Chains A and B, each alone.
Chain A
Amino acid sequence: MKKRLIRKAALPLLLAGAWALAVLVVGAQSQPLEGREVDLVWSTSDGQRMEIYYAHRLNGVWAEPVRITDDYYDNMYPVIDRDSTGTRWLFWTAYSNGRMELRYTSGRDGTWRESTTLADRMKTNISPSVVIDKEDTVWVAWSANDGGVDDIYVAFKDKNSWSEPAMPHAPNDVPDILPEVGLEDSGNPEVTWQSLQNGALLTLTSRFSGEQWSEPEVSENSEPVESHSETLELPAFVNNTSMVFVRVY
């Protein structure tokens, strides 16, 4: 639940980034934000293209930012989470020549692996979301299409390999966008997204039962009721606040 609340707090920043110099963090923890570990990823220009950068905050001190990508793509919409070993898993969309691929990398103790393409079979793979469960399985959801409108896809990586992407909803002709994958109280993954149906934008949720994704249910757009909320000031080296993702542990 804690992870999910923090993730939800990060979304408004993505939507209203241009106006935000700080991010509101809502969570159940009573521990002050000041002492909590924070991962920050963002997309900004290197003067030619959009690249992904990472910064880590420990004990209230930000480390020097690290450049993650350096290629001929525009790299956008980054998200991050960590597993129990402290390994960070970072996903983003790489754009070039009208196509958008889903890419990722992982890193630990300042060393990052070379980026890998997770999904490029379809024309557009966009808006990734990631969460890692207590078994250290990495769950990533994104929206993709191959010429129609977007559907939601989810893939997971256990110790060995990546699963085939699965859709948590039946095939349809309506836009399914902006997925957020999180963990239920039971620890099982769930994915929530927006779907335009009969002219109304609905929030749908599907839960993973261990074998398959449940039939999507319409969710209430309710705010978390927990009382703890704080504002995290973004460091000055973040010069583009339109594509920022913050993970507070």
Chain B
Amino acid sequence: MKRQILIAGISLLLVASYCQAAELPAEKIRIVAFGDSITAGYRSTPYSYYLQQLLDANNCNSTVINEGNPGELTAQGVSRIDDVIAEHRPHYILIMEGANDARSGVSGDVIVSDLARMMDKAIAAGAIPKVSAITPNTESGSEYLPIPEVINPQIQQQAAARSVAYVDNYSALAGPNWASYNIDGLHLSPAGQKVVAQQFFNFIPCGSASGDSGGGGGGCFIATAAYGSILEPQVALLREFRDTYLLTNAAGRKFVELYYAYSPPAADFIRAHQSVKAAARIFLLPLVGLAYLMVKGYGYVLMIGLIIPVLFLVSKKKHKHLSSV
């Protein structure tokens, strides 16, 4: 009887908080455009502007943040990306970098290695990376061939190894229209920037129903699979809980690390079975409720919800003990 009261009390509490969580408005999707002067929009409107237009035109609840850093090498990007992610906490990070390395004498292997590090950092931080091919370079009058022949295929391989979307902006720009897509053999004209925006747009789900459950899933693999999209408020809540209460201490980080290592196969299974999705959502219910209370500053409600039944049980036990004496 006592156990039933306890369970009922906690369950009611969590269900109530879940109901509140379910009524949360969908979180605005934050998309960071990360790269060099091409991303920054050297002598041109940056693609981030056109991407925002595309998202707005499709009623996507999104905001695009431009983090283009002119002249940046990929090694510098590796150093910078942590701060960018920490500042904006993006759902998606669009990585397009390597053009400066190629023209400065950095080998393709280093470029690819650096981009792989950026993808790993983004995934570890719970953002979904989308990595771009390096765009064409014809500054010399001839095409810089290592980009299509060596570097881009390796970027594609590294992206595939991480289940990260590879956005082939090279193929979209190269060809007969390249002359109208560039201004100096390296930087993109507004027409070229629009092409890049459309390419990235094709890889960003608009609205919570479309889903982007593959790959990183923002780190919340199982919840993303269960709810169908990283954009669902419950997933956003769990992600915020992770960022606030788990990634801020050693034990929490270890837990997250283990979760990332072992949860993807379970997420794949859930994603593939509709009936399991419903069960997983029920299984996650208490967790979502807990996350809601903690993230929204109602931790004290949780404490009261736990303390009252405990006090009740203690008092009953004491009463029983006295009665027997």
Interface residues of A (CB under 8 A from B): 14-18, 43-50, 74, 76-77, 93, 95, 97-98, 100, 123-124, 126-127, 143-145, 147-150, 175, 177-178, 194, 196, 199-201, 239-240, 242-243
Contacts and interface: CB of A to CB of B under 8 A. Distances in A.
A45 B142 contact: yes
Contacts of A48: 142
B186 to A, nearest CB: 5
B105 A199 contact: no
Interface residues of B, number: 32
Contact of A242 (B79, B109, B117, B186): B186
A175 B149 contact: no
A74 B107 contact: no
B185 interface: yes
Contacts of B114: 175, 196
A15 B104 contact: yes
Contacts of A50: 140, 142, 144
Contacts of B172: none
B257 interface: no
B185 to A, nearest CB: 7
Contacts of A178: 104-106
Interface of B: 71, 73, 75-76, 78-79, 82, 100, 103-110, 113-114, 117, 139-142, 144-146, 149-150, 184-187
Given A127-B106, A175-B75, A18 B113 contact: no
A127 B79 CA distance: 22
B107 A18 contact: no
15 contacts: A17-B139, A18-B184, A45-B142, A48-B142, A95-B145, A97-B149, A124-B107, A126-B105, A127-B104, A127-B105, A177-B110, A178-B106, A201-B73, A201-B75, A240-B139
Given A98-B149, A178-B104, A196-B114, A240 B75 contact: no
A100 B107 contact: yes
Given A126-B105, A201-B75, A149 B141 contact: no
Contacts of A17: 103, 139
Smallest CB-CB A-B distances: 8 pairs: A45-B141, A127-B105, A45-B142, A242-B139, A175-B110, A240-B140, A124-B107, A196-B75
A44 B110 contact: no
A194 B103 CA distance: 16
A142 to B, nearest CB: 9
Given A16-B71, A50-B140, A239-B141, A124 B82 contact: no
Contact of B106 (A49, A148, A177, A239): A177
Contacts of B184: 18
